[in-house]
């Protein structure tokens, strides 16, 4: 037990931040071992950013404790931050400073930043550091924030919705950068409200709702419980295999309207694909439900009041 | 929306206005005495004081009365404070709200640019009206506490004039902010308002400037002094202020419709550009305090230049002021209370130290406002994510403020014009005779006596107060 605790990159015990009127984060017990990529999933206002700001010592807990590499996140915050790379949810504004100046400014405050590593990340994202911050698009601002979080090769990365504003190409580059950091021994705590995103990169996922951690799942478990909404349009001359579809594993809520079939698919698509095999399909659209719909399907609970910590 | 966004400004400036007029009014009853002779003596003292500040404020009318006293002590100062408020609000709307995306959201809701400009200007006019009315209320409450009465018409006119001046400053700042680039908008609007203020106020000393003072809204504000008995209200000047407000706001609205969001109306051709993936190499970024000073280098430069110019102006005015003072025999006993040695350095020290203290206080306020903006803009959060303690960040900020103040205060020594003016204005042959420019740390301990010259040269001896006919 003692060895396990020493190895934990992040450990929280009954961590609570109560904003009143049911808003905040309540009794969070979490343990994340080193070199794990942990996805922190929850809808808007569920308490993800509150958790991250508590871990970073930006806000003080109402109760409980948070430890990073065995150090108290509030009392030993300077030592903690030496080992952490942080990407905040709201990208900070640097006005008319150039990107190169922002990097040098924060690098100067932090110390020990490898200029070659900075250059490598900037090249990877094709981020022009000679431009003024004010002139950056929102995607480029996010890239700069990612660079600031990764530039000192931290042992722990705490990232609050890091891909917001990035196009799919740069999202892929970011996932690769995250993988490289993990291969170099870093631990990653990564918040998101997109289910498919955490599937891409995470080893484990914590699901947060209304300020409470409702589930910590391994990736394969998450894949098993995930839901997709599917719409299939069959060719005019093809028979709709309604019977096969109804009996297919994982297929639920089936409805047929002419040549169009709508259903939800739990977990693997194998059952659905077997059912429509050999039938001519004109169009097939699979959409990921929102987290709220996922919660409704998975937990069977109505949407709670929106939280804005 | 404008009123909603500016509610704290309205509350804050209304409170400042009320406290200012109320304190000055009740203060008058504390110091003026009750007999006509006592009040006449106060009036003479105030006239002497006003003579030293003639480059800033117009001479008071009947300072022996509560109206004249408060007009001079409170309303003239409020005109400057409200002009700064107008400047901050106008550039905040034109550029700050634009950077925060508030303007984009408002335009996306179907509001036209002209309508948005008009609504924000009207909102600010209402705010200025409220704050001015509160200033007038503070005066009335103070007068009531002294068991006296004042003419209601004069009070209303004073409030209306203050509001009209404030709105005209807002509209002019708004117009300049449309023309300049976002990063230069506040500086450009500040330069315009400061220039207009100085053109008017210095025209009382330099006759050559009187040709241009018609362009200054402060001129039209000063043409009326409605509070004292025998004072006046010039309706044409009031209408000119209203006209400036409407025309400048309309021009600002037009300029807003002609430019791209985030861009100035007047474009500067781009310089040759080379993209880079490297962090800045300047070593200043690695040194605490220095890096923060470097970030605000343009602002510090502007403050330093402004301070040097003000120092030069004050030094060049000293001779004129002293000659005015010495030409009034009845003032000599009053002056002897404050000045025991050389008059020129004493007067210069007294006027300049007072103004420099105000300027450094304004510098400190803008710096603290910058720290507040760091919090709301998310920079503080990213700074705190580096291995810095909160206490360390506070200490560094204080060090940056102190170092910035020292740089600005020291800028006087870098001004050759100031040095030449000093020699010409005071007959002093050595620039080192003048005590150092004030910094927040030294200015509070300084008095006219501390500025006395120690060189003992012939001209200094001649300019000493004991031999006033220099």
Better-scored residue on pLDDT, B415 or A292: A292
- Which residues are A217's β-sheet partners? A205
B247 and B293, same domain (yes or no): no
Give the pLDDT mean for A299-306.
52
Token pair recorded at residue B208: 């050559």
Distance of CA B226 to the CA centre of its chain: 23
Q: How confident is the model at residue B435 (pLDDT cuts 50, 70, 90)?
A: very low
In a domain, B51, yes or no: yes
Give per-residue pLDDT as tens, A243-259.
999 999 889 889 999 89
Give per-residue pLDDT as tens, B368-402.
888 888 888 889 999 999 999 999 999 999 999 99
**Predicted local confidence at residue A3, as pLDDT:** 44
Residue A286 near residue A256 (C-beta atoms within 8 A): no
Q: How confident is the model at residue A299 (pLDDT cuts 50, 70, 90)?
A: low
**Predicted local confidence at residue B436, as pLDDT:** 36
B160 and B91, same domain (yes or no): yes
A231 pLDDT higher than 60: yes
**Predicted local confidence at residue B446, as pLDDT:** 37
Give per-residue pLDDT as tens, B36-72.
888 888 888 888 778 777 777 888 888 888 999 999 8
In a domain, B92, yes or no: yes
Could you tell me if A17 lies within 8 Å of chain B, comparing CB atoms? no
B94 pLDDT higher than 50: yes
**Predicted local confidence at residue A177, as pLDDT:** 94
Task: List CB contacts (< 8 A) between B182 and chain A.
Answer: 96, 134
CA distance A179 to B21: 66
Highest mean pLDDT among A208-222, A280-294, B380-394: B380-394
B225 and B296, same domain (yes or no): no
Q: What's the number of domains chain B is made of?
A: 2
In angstroms, what separates the C-alpha of A93 from chain B's closest C-alpha?
5
A1 pLDDT higher than 60: no
Q: Where are the domains of chain A?
A: 2-217, 227-287
**Predicted local confidence at residue B339, as pLDDT:** 62
**Predicted local confidence at residue B165, as pLDDT:** 96
CA distances from B392 to A204, B284, B285, B384 (A): 37, 18, 17, 10
DSSP, res B107: H
Phi, psi of A209, deg, nearest 5: -150, 130
CB contact under 8 A, B389 and A77: yes
Q: How confident is the model at residue B459 (pLDDT cuts 50, 70, 90)?
A: very low
Q: How confident is the model at residue B11 (pLDDT cuts 50, 70, 90)?
A: confident
CB contact under 8 A, A130 and B275: yes
A84, A130, A148 ranked by CB distance to B276: nearest: A130
Task: List CB contacts (< 8 A) between A93 and chain B.
Answer: 99, 377-379
Helix (H) or strand (E) holding A154: none
CB contact under 8 A, A104 and B280: yes
**Predicted local confidence at residue B56, as pLDDT:** 77
CB contact under 8 A, A58 and B384: yes
B27 and B151, same domain (yes or no): yes
Residue B402 near residue B293 (C-beta atoms within 8 A): no
Chain A 239-278, residues with CB within 8 Å of chain B CB atoms: none
CATH architecture of A227-287: 2-Layer Sandwich (3.30)
In a domain, B265, yes or no: no
B241 and B351, same domain (yes or no): no
In angstroms, what separates the C-alpha of B469 from chain A's closest C-alpha?
56
B407 pLDDT higher than 70: yes
CA distance A12 to A30: 5
Helix (H) or strand (E) holding A13: strand A8-20
In a domain, B449, yes or no: yes
Residue B100 near residue B128 (C-beta atoms within 8 A): no
Residue B66 near residue B29 (C-beta atoms within 8 A): yes
Give the pLDDT mean for B345-362.
79
Average confidence score pLDDT of chain B: 81
Scan for tokens 């892929």, then name that residue: A172
In angstroms, what separates the C-alpha of B299 from chain A's closest C-alpha?
13
In angstroms, what separates the C-alpha of B281 from chain A's closest C-alpha?
7
Query: Where a domain ends, among B223, B258, B293?
Result: B258
Q: How confident is the model at residue A143 (pLDDT cuts 50, 70, 90)?
A: very high
Residue of A nearest to B381 (CA): A58
B100 pLDDT higher than 80: no
Phi, psi of A41, deg, nearest 5: -110, 135
- A227-234 β-sheet, strand order: A251-257, A260-266, A227-234, A281-287
Residue in A58, A92, A189 to test binding to B, most B beta-carbons within 10 Å: A92
Angle between the N-to-C axes of helices B416-426 and B343-376, in degrees from 0 to 180, rounded to the nearest 10:
150
Could you tell me if A117 lies within 8 Å of chain B, comparing CB atoms? no
Residue of A nearest to B373 (CA): A93
Give per-residue pLDDT as tens, B205-264.
788 888 888 999 999 999 998 998 888 899 999 999 999 999 999 999 999 999 888 888
**Predicted local confidence at residue A288, as pLDDT:** 76
Residue B77 near residue B71 (C-beta atoms within 8 A): no
Q: How confident is the model at residue B440 (pLDDT cuts 50, 70, 90)?
A: very low
Residues in chain B: 470
**Predicted local confidence at residue A60, as pLDDT:** 92
B34 pLDDT higher than 90: no
CA distance A200 to A223: 11
Hey, do A2-217 and A227-287 end up sharing a CATH topology, with the first three levels equal? no
Give per-residue pLDDT as tens, A78-137.
999 999 999 999 888 888 899 999 999 999 999 889 999 999 999 999 999 999 998 899
CB contact under 8 A, A110 and B183: no
CB contact under 8 A, B377 and A82: no
Residue of B nearest to A146 (CA): B382
Give the pLDDT mean for A270-299.
81
**Predicted local confidence at residue A227, as pLDDT:** 79
Phi, psi of A278, deg, nearest 5: 85, 0
CB contact under 8 A, A78 and B389: yes
B28 pLDDT higher than 60: yes
**Predicted local confidence at residue B420, as pLDDT:** 53
CA distance B89 to A130: 31
Give per-residue pLDDT as tens, B178-204.
998 877 888 889 889 989 998 998 888
In angstroms, what separates the C-alpha of A265 from chain B's closest C-alpha?
39
CA distance B38 to B384: 59
In angstroms, what separates the C-alpha of A63 from chain B's closest C-alpha?
21
Residue B193 near residue B200 (C-beta atoms within 8 A): no
CB contact under 8 A, B378 and A129: no
In a domain, B13, yes or no: yes
In a domain, B266, yes or no: no
B443: containing domain = 283-462
B167 and B291, same domain (yes or no): no
In angstroms, what separates the C-alpha of A288 from chain B's closest C-alpha?
29
Q: How confident is the model at residue A215 (pLDDT cuts 50, 70, 90)?
A: confident
Give the pLDDT mean for A160-179.
92
**Predicted local confidence at residue B372, as pLDDT:** 83
Scan for tokens 């040549």, then name that residue: A259
**Predicted local confidence at residue B170, as pLDDT:** 95
Sorted by sequence, the CB contacts under 8 Å of residue A233 that are 6+ apart come out as A259, A260, A261, A281, A282, A283, A284
Give the pLDDT mean for B143-165.
91
Fold category of A2-217 in CATH: Rossmann fold (3.40.50)
**Residue A87 — left, alpha, or beta (φ > 0 → left; ψ -120 to 50 → alpha)?**
beta
B469 pLDDT higher than 90: no
Say whether A88 sits in a helix, a strand or coil.
coil
B287 and B200, same domain (yes or no): no
B351 and B246, same domain (yes or no): no
**Predicted local confidence at residue A125, as pLDDT:** 95
The alpha carbons of chain B give a radius of gyration, in whole angstroms, of 24
**Predicted local confidence at residue B135, as pLDDT:** 94
Q: Complex ipTM, two decimals?
A: 0.81
Give the pLDDT mean for A54-83.
93
Phi, psi of A23, deg, nearest 5: -100, 145
B419 pLDDT higher than 70: no
Give the residue from B237, B200, B238, B229 showing the smallest Cα distance to B60.
Answer: B229
B447 pLDDT higher than 50: no
In a domain, B436, yes or no: yes
Residue of A nearest to B95 (CA): A95
């Amino acid at each position: 037990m003692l060895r396990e605790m020493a190895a934990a990159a992040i450990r929280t015990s009954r961590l609570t931040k109560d904003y009143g009127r049911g808003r905040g984060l309540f009794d969070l017990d979490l343990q994340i071992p080193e070199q794990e990529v942990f996805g922190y999933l929850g809808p808007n206002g569920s308490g993800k950013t509150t958790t991250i700001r508590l871990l970073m010592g930006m806000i003080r807990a109402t109760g409980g404790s948070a430890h990073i590499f065995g150090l108290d996140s509030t009392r030993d915050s300077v030592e903690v931050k030496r080992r952490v790379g942080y990407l905040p949810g709201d990208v900070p504004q640097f006005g008319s400073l150039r990107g190169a100046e922002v990097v040098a400014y924060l690098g100067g405050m932090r110390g020990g930043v490898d200029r070659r590593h900075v250059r490598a990340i900037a090249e990877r994202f094709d981020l022009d550091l000679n431009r003024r911050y004010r002139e950056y698009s929102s995607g480029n601002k996010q890239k700069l924030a990612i660079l600031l979080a990764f530039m000192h090769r931290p042992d722990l990365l705490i990232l609050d919705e890091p891909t917001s504003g990035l196009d799919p190409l740069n999202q892929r580059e970011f996932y690769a950068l995250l993988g490289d950091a993990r291969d170099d021994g870093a631990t990653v705590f990564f918040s998101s409200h997109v289910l498919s995103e955490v599937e891409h990169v995470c080893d484990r996922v914590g699901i947060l709702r209304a300020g409470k951690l409702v589930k910590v799942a391994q990736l394969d478990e998450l894949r098993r419980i995930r839901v997709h909404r599917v719409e299939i349009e069959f060719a005019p001359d093809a028979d709709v295999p309604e019977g096969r579809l109804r009996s297919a594993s994982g297929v639920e809520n089936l409805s047929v309207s002419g040549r169009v079939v709508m259903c939800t698919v739990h977990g693997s698509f194998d059952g659905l694909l077997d059912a429509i095999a050999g039938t001519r399909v004109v169009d097939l659209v699979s959409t990921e439900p929102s987290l709220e719909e996922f919660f409704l399907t998975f937990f069977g609970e109505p949407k709670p009041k929106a939280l804005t910590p | 929306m404008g009123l909603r966004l500016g509610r704290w400004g309205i509350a804050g400036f209304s409170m400042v206005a009320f406290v200012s007029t109320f304190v000055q009014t009740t203060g008058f009853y504390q110091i003026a005495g009750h007999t006509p002779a006592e009040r006449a003596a106060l009036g003479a003292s105030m006239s002497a004081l006003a003579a030293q500040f003639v480059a800033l404020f117009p001479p008071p009318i009947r300072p022996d009365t509560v109206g004249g006293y408060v007009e001079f002590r409170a309303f003239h100062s409020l005109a400057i404070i409200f002009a700064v408020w107008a400047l901050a609000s106008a550039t905040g709307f034109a550029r700050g709200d634009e950077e925060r995306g508030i303007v984009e959201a408002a335009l996306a809701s179907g509001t036209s640019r002209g309508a948005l400009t008009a609504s924000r200007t009207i909102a600010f006019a209402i705010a200025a009206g409220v704050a001015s009315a509160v200033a007038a209320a503070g005066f009335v409450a103070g007068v009531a506490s002294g068991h006296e009465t004042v003419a209601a018409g004069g009070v209303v006119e004073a409030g209306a004039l203050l509001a009209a001046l404030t709105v005209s400053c807002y509209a002019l700042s708004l117009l300049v902010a449309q023309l300049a680039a976002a990063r230069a908008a506040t500086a450009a609007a500040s330069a315009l308002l400061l220039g207009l203020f100085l053109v008017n106020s210095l025209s009382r000393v330099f006759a050559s400037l009187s040709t241009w003072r018609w362009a200054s809204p402060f001129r039209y504000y000063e043409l009326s002094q409605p509070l004292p008995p025998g004072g006046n209200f010039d309706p044409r000047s009031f209408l000119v202020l209203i006209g400036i407000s409407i025309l400048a706001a309309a021009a600002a609205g037009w300029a807003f419709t002609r430019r791209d969001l985030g861009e100035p109306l007047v474009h500067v051709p781009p310089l040759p550009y080379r993209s880079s993936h490297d962090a800045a190499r300047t070593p200043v970024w690695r040194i605490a305090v220095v890096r923060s000073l470097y970030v605000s280098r343009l602002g510090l430069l502007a403050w330093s230049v402004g301070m040097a110019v003000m120092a030069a102006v004050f030094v060049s005015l000293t001779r004129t002021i002293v000659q005015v003072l010495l030409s009034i025999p009845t003032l000599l006993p009053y002056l002897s209370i404050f000045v025991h040695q050389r008059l020129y350095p004493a007067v210069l020290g007294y006027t300049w130290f007072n103004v420099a203290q105000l300027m450094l206080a304004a510098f400190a306020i803008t710096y603290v406002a910058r720290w507040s903006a760091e919090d709301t803009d998310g920079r503080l959060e990213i700074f705190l994510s580096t291995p810095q303690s909160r206490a360390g960040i506070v200490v560094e900020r204080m060090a940056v403020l102190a170092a910035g103040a020292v740089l600005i205060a020291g800028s006087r020594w870098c001004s050759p014009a100031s040095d030449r003016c000093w020699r010409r204005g005071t007959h002093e042959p050595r620039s080192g005779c003048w005590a150092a420019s004030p910094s927040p740390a030294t200015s509070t301990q300084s008095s006219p006596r501390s500025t006395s010259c120690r060189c003992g040269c012939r001209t200094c001896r001649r300019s000493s107060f004991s031999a006033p006919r220099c």
